[in-house]
Structure 1
Amino acid sequence: MRTGFAAVPLPVTEPTPMGGYAGRVGVSAGTRDPLQLSALTWSDGHHRLALVLADLICVNADVVAAARAAVTGVDALWLAASHTHSGPETGCVPGGTATPPPWSRSIPAAVAGVVDRAVRAEADSVGRWRTGILTDVGSVRSEAATDARVPLDLVEVLDTAGDRAGLLVVLPVHPTVLSADNLLVSADLVGAVRAALAERLGPDIWVAVATGTAGDISTRHTRRGHGGAELKRLAAAVADHCLAELARPAVPAWGAADRWDGRARRTLLTPKPSSAADRQAMIAAATEAVAAARHGGDPATVRIAEGDLTGARLASTIDGPEHEIEAEVAVARIGALAVAALPGEPFLALGETIRRSRPGPTAVLGYANGYPGYLPTRDAYRRARYEVLAAAAAPGSGERLAGIAADLLTDLDGAHQ
């Protein structure tokens, strides 16, 4: 197996509307840290997979299709957003929409360029996989008292001499340390983790960070502030955890002579039923909940209630899709390692369902190859929390996509026996 990596800046022309926070006022006023496109390729000499990670709030299906048309020399291209809330607005509307210019043009061109660089950098490699539990960085944001523990996957790429060449980290946490008041472009937590790992691993080892199934996971209850110092603290916690995991025994992911294979399936999701009366009732109920929470005085409860009100208001201002929502699920098996890519914002439990569907090493990405919006679990729809209020897809949509991923991986595993 040959593996390549490349990274290029993703320039932002100032000022630009910023994505992620409905309550943000104003446009970008500068750059705190540059956005990046990272490309990782795997080639077995016959077929090639390219994974591109973009410091964007989301990627819509139209920009994914345009990027695939622009890229040459690959059999499959996955484009995944980091979901930074301090990047440009790229049309992050529940259910998906058209990507606005200039991003509809510049993103596909930049993807083609970074993939070409990664292909030219390919070298023989072997892979190793590790997984562990990251503590005190991310937790369920809609619950005030939850265990701040999330799985974290590491895919280590080694050269044929056994030396580390690079590291892919799959982090299922919303990169939302910087607040809605921030008007400086930033990759937020993903960028800070890249920098912290680069500092620890050295300049000769590349680092890529993908956002996992983080639809319901954020730093809301673990962060101590919203500035650069807090970004560094949380990034250091992630980086130090990664180094501790790298010191432990690894599971073989792929060998020099292994091959990769992939599957993808598109499906249509039913829109969530909604009416004007329902939306007004949701706003009224959420407003009462905010008042009750403020009366109670618990800051975490107040923040959750305010988020739910934001979701209710968002749902009232955006017409839900009147047609079925197209969604793509993609999977790959690289040697023994399985990787699944889900669109939109899947809840963590959906990723864990996929991981439990097979015994071997498995990593699950979110925010990939389209944006159907939030994908809560079926049980989550029983409570009018922000993610459910803002979701465009009907209950059961998340489980449907997770089931497709599990089925596709079962097919792949059977083909490799």
Structure 2
Amino acid sequence: MRVGYGTTDLPVPDGTPMGGYLDRPGPSTGLADPLSVSALTWSDGERRFALATADIICVNEDLARRARQAAGCELWLAASHTHAGPETGCVPGGGPTPEPWLERVTEAVGTAVRQAIDRERPCEGTVYRGELQGVGSDRSRPRAPAVVPLDLIAVYDGGLAGVLVVLPVHPTVLPATNRLVSADLVGAVRRSLRKRLGEDVWVVVATGAAGDISTRHTRRGQDAAELERLGALVADRCADLLAGPGTPLWRAGAAGRWISWATRRLTLEPTSTTADEAALIAGYEQAAASGDPVVTRLARSRLEGLRARTARPVRTGVDVNVARLGGLALAGLPGEPFLAVAERIADRPGEPTLVLGYVNGYPGYLPTAGAYQHAEYEVLASQVAPGSAELIAETARQLLEDL
């Protein structure tokens, strides 16, 4: 198996509308840390597969199609979901990607993929899996355990060439009042890991199934210092995993077909979930009067969720993507699946299975069926009916079994 890595910056001019928060006070005013687009390519001599990650809020289907054309091979384009980057048309149910970002991100993907192909060389792959504590938790449950799964793919070409980290946590440390462009938590993890592993080791961080997981109840602030603290926690845990036993995935010189993929198109029914806006407003006012910041934040988020949904939800088409890279199974899910959705797919004994979110489309939040029993932000903002997430999970499992 041959593996390559490429990356390029994604400049954001001052005055750019920013994505992620409805109550942003204005456009971007400067740069906290640079955004980038990175690409990994795998080639077995017969087929080539590419994974590109972009520091943007979401990937709509028009952008995914254009990026695949630019790559010239099978490509998954995954958004980091930073809330401190440009607005790329991130609305529940998906929509068109605004210019100039349709063209700029496509061009950056093409550049990164070409670099990766040019740098492909025989490599071995190993997966390391464990738990991460103290960084992410269920953002609608203040007392939920702050523990999430953490997966790493390490690529070796004699020594460690690079790592792909799958982190199922919303990269949202910086607040809505922030107007400086930043890759947020994903960028902090990349910086911290490079310090530990060396500048010659490439680092790619992909956001996993983080629909209901964030730093809301684990962060101690919402500034650059807190970003570095949380990024260091992730990097330290990654270093611990790399020092332990892993599972081999492919060999450098192995011949034959090691790469395969499949996609299935699904139509998701619209939600009929409703909520009383007046009651939510009254609940927020009562929470604000209590002086409890956690209760107040949860109450405000419910209002934000209701207002984020479009007036007339419609059926939503989505692609479910799976791939095999040697002994590794990958699922690339559109939108913002809950962590339990990924766990349902990854529960496949005998084969390491990693699940990425925010890939090749944006239907919005994909809550589990049980989550619809509670009127929390993600359910109120969701465009899709209960059972949609389970349909996606079962489709991914079946596609992997059929490969």
Shorter-chain TM band: over 0.9
Superposed CA deviations along residues 59-110 of structure 1, whole A, max 9, x for unmatched, are 00011111112222x2x10000000000000000000000100011111121
User: Equivalent residue for 2:283?
Assistant: 289
**Where do 5+ consecutive residues of structure 1 fail to align?**
413-417
2: CA distance, partners of 1:410 / 1:285: 46
State the SS of the aligned residue for 1:85. Answer: coil
**Where do 5+ consecutive residues of structure 2 fail to align?**
none
2: CA distance, partners of 1:58 / 1:358: 31
- Residue 385 of structure 1 aligns to which amino acid in structure 2? E
User: Equivalent residue for 1:404?
Assistant: 395
User: Equivalent residue for 2:154?
Assistant: 156
2: CA distance, partners of 1:364 / 1:253: 16
User: Equivalent residue for 1:181?
Assistant: 177
- Residue 285 of structure 1 aligns to which amino acid in structure 2? A
User: Equivalent residue for 1:125?
Assistant: 123
User: Equivalent residue for 2:89?
Assistant: 91
Which of 97, 100, 118 is matched with 2:98 structurally? 100
Is 1:168 equivalent to 2:167 in the alignment? no
Counterparts of residues 6-405 of structure 1 (less than 5 Å): 6-72=6-72, 74=73, 76-159=74-157, 161=158, 163-256=159-252, 257=254, 259-273=258-272, 278=274, 281=276, 283-315=277-309, 318-322=310-314, 324-405=315-396
2: CA distance, partners of 1:394 / 1:14: 39
Q: Report the CA distance between 1:319 and its aligned residue.
A: 2.5
Q: Report the CA distance between 1:129 and its aligned residue.
A: 0.4
State the SS of the aligned residue for 2:181. Answer: coil
CA contact (8 A) 1:157 1:166 kept: yes
CA contact (8 A) 2:23 2:176 kept: yes
- Residue 47 of structure 1 aligns to which amino acid in structure 2? R
Q: Report the CA distance between 1:173 and its aligned residue.
A: 0.2
CA contact (8 A) 2:92 2:308 kept: no
Moved over 4 A (4+): none
1: CA distance, partners of 2:140 / 2:94: 24
Superposed CA deviations along residues 11-58 of structure 1, whole A, max 9, x for unmatched, are 112211000001111000011111000100000000000000000000
2: CA distance, partners of 1:330 / 1:249: 29
Q: Report the CA distance between 1:308 and its aligned residue.
A: 0.9
Q: Could you tell me the percent identity over the aligned residues?
A: 55
2: CA distance, partners of 1:358 / 1:12: 44
Q: Report the CA distance between 1:358 and its aligned residue.
A: 4.2
CA contact (8 A) 1:286 1:312 kept: no
Q: Report the CA distance between 1:217 and its aligned residue.
A: 0.2
Root mean square deviation of aligned Cα: 1.2
- Residue 355 of structure 2 aligns to which amino acid in structure 1? V
2: CA distance, partners of 1:71 / 1:154: 24
Q: 1:298 to 1:407 in 2, by over 3 A?
A: same
**Aligned pairs, number:** 400
Superposed CA deviations along residues 106-146 of structure 1, whole A, max 9, x for unmatched, are 11121111101100000001100011110010000011110
1: CA distance, partners of 2:367 / 2:312: 16
- Residue 30 of structure 2 aligns to which amino acid in structure 1? G
CA contact (8 A) 1:144 1:304 kept: no
Q: Report the CA distance between 1:296 and its aligned residue.
A: 4.1
2: CA distance, partners of 1:135 / 1:297: 28
Superposed CA deviations along residues 304-338 of structure 1, whole A, max 9, x for unmatched, are 111111112223xx32433x211111111111111
**TM norm structure 1:** 0.94
**TM norm structure 2:** 0.97
